Each structure stands twice: as structure tokens, then as C-alpha cells.
Amino acid sequence: MSVLSSIIEGVLADLETRKLSNSQLDETLSAAPNVRDPLVSLSRNPLSVIAEVKRSSPSKGALAEIPEPATLARRYESAGASVVSVLTEQRRFGGSLKDLHQVRDEIQLPVLRKDFIVNEYLVKESRAYGADLLLLIVAALDDYQLRDLYSLANELGMKVLVEVHDQSELERALAINPEIIGVNSRNLKTLEIDRKNFDALLPNIPPTIYRVAESGISERDQVKAAYQLGANAVLVGESLVKSDSPESLIAEFLNVAIGN
């Protein structure tokens, strides 16, 4: 079993312990806050930062305690991040839906639910807890699931970050005409990082699609390289949560696009 398959197995097991009835879920959905358009926020800068609330990872273990995720999110917001990403997977990443809800309530930025979304319930649950942007990982879905979950997220008002890490996944992603594609330098089946993914894939994404570079980004030169390859945004987690001054790091990354 790959790492990705193992994570998804845990996600589905945990879902069974909290799953609401259809009527309860619909009631929660009806009370969800209005969607904030992430593309509007992301397009305000020539290069944007999606800043992540992330306690741990399967590859690195514990990263930061983050007792108050909303406090960290406010720091990201004040530093100029365009979107805040919240890990909600519990077993490997130490996240929760409570984190998502708290962050969404405390900031004005759009919020990405970063999780392993593999069925319709998880899409609806994301919107019910306030997600404005949803992650769909091409490696975790077949073509029918990818198209159906993407359509459902759009019907609920959310945008979708469609994540790929090789050329075949990019071709599958392009087939659903997405607005946002993320290139992940980490292979979620093996957890290996290969930044050559950015070189290979970012230039192949049409400029009409918003392009995000994900994973393995911790230094200004890495941000600059992704930007020069066509990335419109970088998604950064580990280096921010481990930094004494995430504000300074965000400012350093944003300055790449203006040559400072």
C-alpha cells in the first residue's frame, strides 16, 4: 500500500466517526458563510503566497504545536498572504475541521481546506465548515471522481486547487478545464521531493490557468525559480510554521516578483 492509499484509508475511517445524516449535513450547509473568491485574492499580486497551518507531516513528523491556529492565520493575513491553507487530516497532519472553522471565523482571507477529498460527503463537509477553496489530488481519484467532485465543489460555490505531480496527471487535470492547478514537487505515493516537477510541468500549464507551486519551498531562490517557470503562487507550510517570523518569510517571498 502506498503512503497516499494509507492516508486515504485513515481519512475514510475517521469520517465514519463524525458523519452526519444527509438532513443534518444539508442543514449545516445552509448555514455556511458566504464564499470568498480565492482567485480575486490571489490575483491582487504578481506572485502570491498561500500560507499553511500545518502541525506535522508524514515525511517530517511533528513540525509545530500551533495551539491557536487562528492566531497564526492572522499573522499570515497581516503579512500579506492571499489565502490561508488549513490541514484538516488528523492522523498524519494533526489537523481538524475545528481548525478550519476557527481560522475561517477569524480572518478575512479565503481559506483552503487541505485534505484528501475522495467523495461527495467530504466536498459538502468542506463547504459546511467554511472552505472557499478545495484541494483535489489527481493521484487519489479516477477520472469520473475527479470530474464529479470538481463539478460538485463548483456547484457549492467553491474553487478547486487541482493537484498534479507528473505529466499524465496534468493531462487528466486539463481534461476538466480547471481554473487552478497546483504542481506538487512531492510524490504522495512515496513522499519523495523532486523539484524538477516544477521545471517539467509548470511551463506546460496554459497561462489562462492559475498556477501554484507546492511543497519543498523554503527559500527565496526556490520561490524565484518557480515564479520564473510560470507559477502565480507558492503554497508554503513547513518553513512558515517552523519560522520565528513567518511575516518576514512571506515578505521575502512576495518581494521575488518585484525584484527586491
CATH number at residue 44: 3.20.20.70
Q: Looking at the predicted structure, is the pLDDT value of residue 37 above 60?
A: yes
Report the 10 Å Cβ neighbour count for 245: 12
Helix/strand/coil for 233: strand
Gap between the Cα atoms of 22 and 30, Å rounded: 12
| pLDDT score for 192 | 83
| pLDDT score for 59 | 85
Residue range 223-238, pLDDT digits in tens: 999 999 999 999 999 9
Q: Which helix (H) or strand (E) is 42 found in, with range?
A: helix 38-42
Gap between the Cα atoms of 186 and 227, Å rounded: 18
Contact status, residue 32 vs residue 130, Cβ threshold 8 Å: yes
Give the mean pLDDT of 46-56: 97
Give the mean pLDDT of 32-47: 97
Q: Are strands 133-137 and 111-114 parallel, antiparallel or unpaired?
A: parallel
| pLDDT score for 19 | 96
| pLDDT score for 1 | 64
**Tally of structural domains, the chain:** 1
Contact status, residue 61 vs residue 156, Cβ threshold 8 Å: no
Question: Which are the contacts of 221, defined by CB distance < 8 A and separation ≥ 6?
Answer: none
| pLDDT score for 259 | 65
Residues forming the active site: 52, 54, 114, 163, 184, 214-215
Residue range 54-111, pLDDT digits in tens: 999 888 889 999 999 999 999 999 999 999 999 999 999 999 999 999 999 999 999 9
Question: Which are the contacts of 115, defined by CB distance < 8 A and separation ≥ 6?
Answer: 11, 87, 88, 89, 95, 122, 126, 135
Residue range 122-148, pLDDT digits in tens: 999 999 999 999 999 999 999 999 999
pTM score above 0.85 = yes
Q: Which domain does 66 fall in, by range?
A: 3-258
Contact status, residue 226 vs residue 243, Cβ threshold 8 Å: no
Report the 10 Å Cβ neighbour count for 182: 29
Rounded-to-10 torsion of CA 2, 11, 161, 54: -90
Q: Looking at the predicted structure, is the pLDDT value of residue 260 above 70?
A: no
